[in-house]
Every structure is written in C-alpha cells, then in structure tokens.
C-alpha cells in the first residue's frame, strides 16, 4: 500500500529534476530578451548618426533582425568608456581590431578589411617648382662628375698636344685645358666643327679612346641626367608614399590608429578632430597630406568630387573593422555566427557597395 502511494511521488520528483537542466539550458542558451543598448561610434560611410544608417549600422540591423533582437541606439565618443562602465551591451561602428584594445574589450570577427592611405593636393606647378629640379643635389652632382671627366680628358689632350700644336692648345694651362675640353665636347656630340684636331700620335690615341668611351657612356650619362630631372619633378605636388612625408606636415585624426602609424614615420604630425577639418587644412596648404582610413577617404572624394585631391595607391597598416563588446559578453558567438552567414550570402558586400564603390 505504501509502495503504491510512493511511486507517483518518486515519479513526480524525477520529472522535476530532469526538467530543471532543460529549463536552465533554455534560459542560458539564447541571448537575453530585453532591449539591447547598442552604442554607435564612427564616421561616414560607416555611421550616419542623424539617419542611423551606414555600413556598420546596416550590417548590425541585419544581424538583429535575423536574431529577433530588439535594440536602441546610444551615441558615444569614447568606445572604451562606454563598454567599461557597462553603459552599453556592444558598440557598433568602424572599430579597428587591435591587440591593445583587446586588453579592455572583445571583438566580433571583422566585417570589413580596411587600411590607411594618403590624400594630397594636385597643385599647378609654380615657376620655382619648374626650375627647382635644376638645383637638385643629384643633378648638380651628375653635372659636376661630367665636368670632372671633361677636365681630365682635356688635360690629357693638352699635355699631348701643346708642344706640337701651340696654336690649337696654348701653353697657358687654363686656356690649353679649356681647348682640350672643347675638343672633348665637340667629339662626344659628333658635331665636328673641325676648328681643333689632334696631330700627335698620343693625342689621336686619347681622342680615339674618348670617342669609344663617349659612344658607350654618353647616352647613359644623358639618360641619367634626364631621369634625375624627371624624378625630381614627379611627386612634387602629390604624395604617393609615406616616405615622401619625411619632414613634411601631415594631418590625421587625434587618437586614431592612423595617428599611431604616422608617429612612427619622420612626418610632422598635426592632430585634428575630424576628417573635414583635416581636408580643410590640406586645401588651405597648412599641411601637405592627410592620413586616415582608406574607405573614409574614398567616400569623402566620391561625395565631394574634389578634383584637386589625389589618393595614393599605397596602403598601410591593414586592419579589420569589427563590433566591440564588454569582456564577458555572451553576445559574441551569436553575432559572429550571423556575420559569417551574411558574408557567405554576399549580403555584407552588397551593403558596402551601396556606400563605397569598389576600390580598383
């Protein structure tokens, strides 16, 4: 009788104990169902604060819809403060994934791979910029070496000829060597005025050797001088690589990874608050270039149609943009899984290309 009464009791206990883990798992497996507080930080085209659109916000909106999450946006300037103080559940924007930031926050996988690039002015050449290459150290060295070679050949010709042909090569060393240099130039250029010619065997040997040497090396010397002039002219108004910024002023956003990158170069760093301020300094010639994330620079050029600005092909400090989370966030796995699904379905790429054209 007692056993028959206890059987239903033990059966009830068994059901309760077995149900508890299932219930606990159901509660912890998913993300909390309350409204998420989503911090937004960054600049166009990733974040349009007024309309709450942009690459980052559009990607996040797709994730939230797929997960049926409700959320509200909160604007913050300092990502680290927003996360460390627990004011938000995550921060959405073009947030660079760096080793230093991993000390205080966690990241999703990258949804965009960015880099740092350079914008500079396309200026019209001034008179000084036109003649400046003729005063370059390399050109002056090349001309100096060429004159030294002519002086050496002229000296040998004078030593060989001045005794037998004093009317062509005077005994005075300066006049005689000058005459020898004139003969060397006329011979090298194949002009052949005929006003001077060697009459001694040694003079003819020297002249013959100089003709052979001129045929072999004259073209190379002229090409070298022309190349020096060309290289001195190219890039005088635009900046195509960070090496050209040595000793020159370059603007970048204060506190950004591009500032950290630029401080490792020999450029003079000018910190600004935003990209518009940086471009304004560039156009007013207060700085020689602006260094910042390439997608933002491309978007700026597209929207403003600045024909007087040039963006370099060189890219530096390649980095991924991701979403930032508190260290102990339970959202990261779900966000990463959904980001992968969006990437596999080309949905992220479609969003990106609505704001930024493909960077050829």
Same domain? 93 vs 45? yes
Chain centroid to CA 2: how far? 84
Residue 348 is part of a domain; what is its CATH number?
Answer: 3.40.190.10
Domain-located, residue 268? yes
| Cα angle for residues 190, 192, 196 (degrees, 5° grid) | 130
**pLDDT given at position 49:** 84
Say whether both 142 and 197 belong to one domain.
yes
Under DSSP, the state recorded for 48 is: B
6 lies in some domain:
no
The whole-number pLDDT of residue 336 equals 96
192 and 171 together in one domain: yes
Residues 341 and 309 in one domain: no
Do both 77 and 95 map to the same domain? yes
- Rounded to whole angstroms, the Cα distance separating 123 from 9 reads 91
**Angstrom distance (rounded) from CA 120 to CA 285:** 10
Kindly report the number of other CB atoms within 10 A of residue 332's CB atom. 18
Look at residue 134 in the predicted model and tell me its pLDDT.
66
Q: Which of 308, 262, 302, 356 is nearest to 124 (CA)?
A: 308
Q: Are residue 212 and residue 138 in the same domain, yes or no? A: yes
CA distance 344 to 347: 8
**What residues form DSSP beta bridges with 253?**
272
Distance separating alpha carbons of residues 207 and 336, to the nearest angstrom: 79
326 in a domain, yes or no? yes
pLDDT of 22: 36
Expressed as residue numbers, the domain containing 332 is 35-113+320-355
Distances (CA, A) of 82 to 58, 75, 88, 89, 149: 21, 9, 6, 9, 71
Give the Cα separation of 245 and 240 in Å (integer).
9
Low pLDDT (below 70) residues in the chain: 1-33, 124-135, 192, 218-237, 357-360
Taking phi first (over 0 means left), then psi (-120 to 50 degrees means alpha), and beta for anything else, what does residue 194 get?
left
131-159 tens-digit pLDDT: 666 667 777 887 888 889 889 988 998 89
Nearest residue to 279 (alpha-carbon basis) of 268, 267, 291, 261:
291
**Domains contained in the chain, number:** 3
Mean pLDDT of the chain: 82
Residue matched to tokens 């560039």? 282
> What whole-number distance in Å separates Cα of residue 155 and Cα of residue 174?
9
Give per-residue pLDDT as tens, 51-62. Answer: 899 999 999 999
Is residue 136 a part of any domain in this protein? Answer: yes
């Amino acid at each position: 009788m007692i056993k028959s009464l206890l059987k239903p009791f033990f059966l009830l206990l068994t059901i309760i104990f077995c149900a508890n883990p299932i219930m606990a798992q159901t509660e912890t497996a998913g993300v909390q169902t309350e409204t998420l507080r989503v911090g937004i930080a960054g600049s166009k085209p990733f974040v349009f604060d007024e309309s709450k659109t942009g690459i980052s916000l559009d990607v996040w909106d797709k994730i939230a819809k797929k997960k049926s999450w409700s959320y509200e946006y909160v604007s913050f300037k300092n990502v680290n403060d927003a996360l460390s103080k627990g004011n938000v559940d995550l921060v959405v924007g073009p947030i660079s994934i760096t080793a230093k930031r991993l000390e205080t926050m966690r990241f999703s996988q990258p949804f965009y791979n960015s880099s740092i690039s350079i914008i500079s002015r396309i200026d019209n050449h001034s008179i000084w910029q036109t003649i400046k290459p003729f005063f370059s150290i390399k050109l002056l060295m090349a001309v100096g070496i060429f004159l030294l070679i002519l002086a050496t050949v002229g000296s040998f010709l004078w030593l060989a000829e001045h005794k037998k042909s004093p009317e062509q090569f005077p005994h005075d060393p300066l006049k005689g060597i000058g005459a020898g240099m004139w003969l060397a130039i006329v011979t090298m250029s194949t002009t052949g005025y005929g006003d001077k010619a060697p009459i001694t065997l040694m003079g003819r040997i020297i002249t013959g050797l100089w003709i052979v040497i001129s045929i072999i090396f004259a073209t190379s010397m002229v090409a070298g001088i022309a190349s020096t002039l060309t290289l001195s002219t190219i890039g005088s108004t635009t900046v195509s690589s960070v090496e050209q910024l040595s000793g020159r002023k370059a603007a970048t956003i204060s506190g950004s990874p591009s500032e950290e990158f630029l401080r490792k170069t020999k450029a003079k760093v000018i910190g600004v608050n935003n990209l518009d301020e940086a471009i304004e300094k560039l156009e007013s010639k207060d700085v020689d270039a602006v260094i910042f994330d390439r997608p933002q620079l491309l978007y700026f050029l597209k929207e403003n149609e600045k024909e007087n600005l040039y963006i370099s092909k060189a890219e530096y400090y390649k980095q991924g943009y991701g979403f930032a989370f508190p260290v102990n966030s339970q959202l990261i796995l779900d966000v990463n899984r959904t980001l992968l699904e969006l990437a596999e379905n080309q949905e992220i790429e479609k969003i990106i290309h609505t704001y930024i054209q493909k960077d050829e």
